[in-house]
Amino acid sequence: MTRYSRIAGTGSYLPPRRVTNADLAAELAQRGLETSDDWIVERTGIRARHFVGEGVAASDLGVQAARHALEAAGAQPGDIDLIIVATSTPDMVFPSTAAILQHKLGIALGAEGALAGCPAFDVQAVCSGFVYALTVADSMIKTGAANKALVIGTEVFSRILDFNDRTTCVLFGDGAGAVVLEASDAPGILATDLHADGKHVGILCVPGTVSGGQVLGQPLLRMDGQAVFKLAVGVLEDAARATLAKAGRTEADIDWLIPHQANIRIMQSTAKRLKLSMDKVVVTVDQHGNTSAASIPLALDAAVREGKVRRGDTVMLEGVGGGFTWGAVLLDF
C-alpha cells in the first residue's frame, strides 16, 4: 500500500501588538524619515503588521500556533513524532528552536520520564522555509520515518529590522503558523519542487555573525528590492509549473494559490503568469506584512478558518526567499 502525507490541522498565532502604517509612519518621523500609509500600500499592499513585545521569542509564537494546529487535528502533543521548525530568527545560536518548542509542548519525555523524545530540528531557508520544511516532513512520513509531524514557521523579524531604512522596515512583521502533517492512505501532498542559487546571496541577507562574544558585520536586514522582485516572479512561476507537471495537474486544477506574502505586486504577477484570477489567491499580506517562513502557514490557517480552503480543495503553496531559495508544494487539502 502506498503511503502518503496529509494535513490534518492548521494553526496560527500573531502577537497582540498590531502596528498600522500610520503607527509606523509616526515612529519613523521621530527618526527623521518620511513615509505614509499611501506610500506603503501603493508599493507593497501592506496596511498593518504585528510586532512582538520585549522578551518574546520565536518559540513563544510557534508554540501557540502548534497548539492551535494540534487542536484542529484532534491530536495531543504526545502523538507527535517529528517536529520541524522553519525560522530565520531562532531563539538562540543553539539548540534549535524546534528543540525548545518540543520542551514547551511537553513532549520531550516518555512515560515515567524515560527519554523518548522525537526528532526536532530547524530548517533555514528564509521565506521559503515552510515549503522546505513541509517537503522534508512529507518525505519522512512517506518513508515511514515519522507518522505525525508538526511543521511550524515562526519569525520575530522585528528584531532584525533597520528602522532607519524605510524601504525595508515597513515590509516585515512577526507571527507563526503551523500544520499537523500525518500519514494517510489517500494522497495529500501531491508533489514538491525545491531550488536554491547561492550566487544571489547578497540581494537579501542579514550579513552579521557572532564571534568571541561580539557581533561581527551588520546584523540587520539588507535587501535589493528590485532584484528580489525581478527574480521572485520568474522562479515562482517555474516552481509552480514544475510541481504541477510532477503531479500530472494543470493550472486549471488549482482551487487556491497561497504564495509567500511578501508584496502584493509579486503575488499579482505570479497569479497572472499562472492564468489565475486573484479571487483564487489567498492574500493576508495587507494585515500581516511579510512574516517570512511564517507567512504561508499563517495564510493557510486564515483561509481554512474563514471557510475558503475546504477539504478536497487543491492548493498550491509557493515561496521565495534569501539564499536565494524557492519552491512549491501542491496538495489536496
DSSP structure string for 287-328: HH-B-GGGHHHHHHHHHHHTTSS-TT-EEEEEEEETTTEEEE
Instruction: Spell out the CATH class of 4-184.
Output: alpha beta
pLDDT digits (tens, 9 = 90+) for 180-227: 999 999 999 999 999 999 999 999 999 999 999 999 999 999 999 999
Give CA–CA dist 216/268, Å, rounded.
38
pTM score of the predicted model = 0.97
Q: Which CATH class is domain 189-332?
A: alpha beta
Our CA angle for 104, 89, 222, nearest 5°, is 170
How high is the mean pLDDT of the chain?
96
Q: Which residue has the cell 526567499?
A: 321
DSSP per position, 78-93? GG--EEEEE-SS-SSS
C-alpha 244/C-alpha 249 separation (Å) is: 5
What are the pLDDT tens digits along the chain (333 aa)?
Answer: 899 999 999 999 999 999 999 999 999 999 999 999 999 999 999 999 999 999 999 999 999 999 999 999 999 999 999 999 999 999 999 999 999 999 999 986 555 554 568 999 999 999 999 999 999 999 999 999 999 999 999 999 999 999 999 999 999 999 999 999 999 999 999 999 999 999 999 999 999 999 999 999 999 999 999 999 999 999 999 999 999 999 999 999 999 999 999 999 999 999 999 999 999 999 999 999 999 999 999 999 999 999 999 999 999 999 999 999 999 999 999
Report the pLDDT value the prediction gives residue 1, as an integer from 0 to 100. 81
pLDDT at 159: 97
The residues assigned a catalytic role are 127, 260, 290
To which residue does cell 502548534 refer?
A: 66
Whether the domain at 4-184 and the domain at 189-332 fall into the same CATH topology: yes
Which of 244, 333, 296 has the alpha carbon at shortest distance from 6? Answer: 333
* Domain coordinates in residue numbering, the chain: 4-184, 189-332
What is the identity of the amino acid at 326?
Answer: W
